Amino acid sequence: MTTINQELYEALKQAGASEDAAKRAAASVYDKDQLATKTDFAEMRTAIEARLARLESDIGWIKWIITGGVGLYVLRSIVEWIR
């Protein structure tokens, strides 16, 4: 347990909680070092936006390739129809 959790455990024991209940309660409390900060969220957002931009670019290429393929198929069908 961390210092903060140890203090909570001892306080709960002094307040009359059972040892098991005090341990579970103290273990469920996070240290502030374990929590995400606004900076962490900003960094994650920036990374996600960069990946999303890459995906949008890739989707643009895929749409272009599909459109070109469909266009070539239609052109081939027209050429065969003309013959």
- pLDDT tens-digit readout, 14-60: 999 998 888 888 888 877 777 888 999 999 999 999 999 999 999 99
Q: Is the pLDDT of residue 7 over 50?
A: yes
Note the pLDDT of residue 63: 92
Q: Report d(CA 50, CA 69) in Å as an integer.
A: 29
Q: Is the pLDDT of residue 80 over 60?
A: yes
- Is 0.85 surpassed by the pTM of this model? no
Phi, psi values for residue 31, rounded to 5° = -75, 155
So where are the chain's domains?
1-35, 36-83
The helix-helix angle for 3-14 and 19-27 (nearest 10°) equals 150
Q: Is the pLDDT of residue 2 over 70?
A: no
Note the pLDDT of residue 1: 43
